[in-house]
Chain A
């Protein structure tokens, strides 16, 4: 009886871990996407700002 109870408890714990992991995998994917987006955005925004400042200095270029 003890062994069965122990086994059931372990199974429940492991299933719970799988569920938590699934959620974590999704969240991590989202976090990576966000970080990628933020990095790309800051790269392009800074470059835009720089080019705009060059254009402002010399509108003929």
Chain B
């Protein structure tokens, strides 16, 4: 296995001494190098040589890629300096011209007819010249931009690779989690056997040692994959920066500010649209609610007076009544009835928070509790545990985080689960909060 230290030879943004002079190499030479590396990689994939060869090859590829990235960065700078700035200058001159034109219009009114015509002609010619110059600058800049790498495609590729590494990380997390549980079981059994049956203790000890060795291997694999993920995330960020830089070439600060404002207002419009859609959906479910409460009111006292801790029983009674009264209704109605349960769950979140605040446990114990409640979410909590370990690892800059000793309350654990859903599962903050709350809701039930 290739060591992660050698996976990437250079951090994004860091100056690569080898890259100096990359620009001096002809495209032909650079292409030859790329061809050679590509062929070697194909051979490697077919006959899989020893680890050192592979390590060396990857090192060469990443080094080559870093050099090329840096050369492209320099090219962007050059284009900005020679063409972008020129276009900005042309645009600024047009702006100045517009001001002068407005002023000259005032002046023209007090001039004799002949001079007025001359002035107007002069201004018009100047305007046309400036406009022509601007168009030429735009064309030049666009043609230069075509010679740059396709950063949008690069970002897409990195994201595809990130998905692949994240999938591997998730599998490792699951195995680490399974193994940690078995280690805990084995340790418990070992302690029992030491007291009651020394003969049995010996094989258990051997198995325990083996499990611990395997756990260390999983840890090592996990660290390696996380390092690759971090590296790819850095690369993605770097490529996004380049893309933004290219998009900003030849734009004045006023244009950039306007673009930002436009983008924000678009995002706001989308958010508002989503919100109004959600409101509409809620309104659509409202008539069903009133039917339900009228059914309730006919047999029970007012539902508003029900204590919160009876809400589960109430939901049960409700669904029983729904079954009786809506036997002849179609499947769509059933799904609507399910949706009506949502607001009740939201109300009970206060209760969930009380429970979460109640006790402090170590993360391992929390994950165990949650896993017991949500067997089907085993994978999620395995990933979460690994994420927490990783996060704490970073926070403590080095030293291993003792997952068994650090005690936190459930609210803090919930925050970590939300962070995990946002950072690893790529959910939005509100989606993540909703998902985690619904997972933890079983604690109330």
Residues of A within 8 A of B (CB): 3-4, 7, 10-11, 13-15, 17-18, 21-22, 24-25, 27-29, 31-48, 50-52, 54-55, 57-58, 61
- Add 5 more A-B contacts to A7-B189, A37-B44 (CB < 8 A): A24-B218, A28-B172, A32-B225, A58-B27, A61-B26
Chain A residues positioned under 8 Å from B218 (CB to CB) = 21, 24-25, 28
Q: With A and B bound together, what is the CA distance between A28 and B224 in angstroms?
A: 11
Residues of B within 8 A of A (CB): 1-2, 7, 26-28, 30-31, 34-35, 37-38, 41, 44-45, 57-58, 61-62, 64-65, 68, 147, 149-150, 153-154, 157, 160-161, 164-165, 167-168, 171-172, 175, 178-179, 182, 185-186, 189, 193, 196-197, 200, 203-204, 207-208, 210-211, 214, 217-218, 221, 224-225, 228, 232
A46 and B153 form a contact (CB under 8 A): yes
Task: Tell me the minimal C-beta distance from A36 to chain B in angstroms.
Answer: 7
Chain A residues positioned under 8 Å from B225 (CB to CB) = 32
B58 and A61 form a contact (CB under 8 A): no
Q: With A and B bound together, what is the CA distance between A2 and B45 in angstroms?
A: 53
Q: With A and B bound together, what is the CA distance between A55 and B182 in angstroms?
A: 59
Residue of B nearest to A7 (CB): B200
A21 and B204 form a contact (CB under 8 A): no
Closest 9 CB pairs of A and B: A51-B31, A48-B34, A21-B214, A61-B27, A39-B161, A14-B207, A35-B164, A17-B182, A42-B157
Question: Contact check: which of B27, B61, B172, B178 meets A54 at CB < 8 Å?
Answer: B27
A18 and B161 form a contact (CB under 8 A): no
A54 and B147 form a contact (CB under 8 A): yes
A44 and B64 form a contact (CB under 8 A): yes
Chain B residues positioned under 8 Å from A29 (CB to CB) = 1, 221
Chain A residues positioned under 8 Å from B197 (CB to CB) = 3, 7
B179 and A41 form a contact (CB under 8 A): no
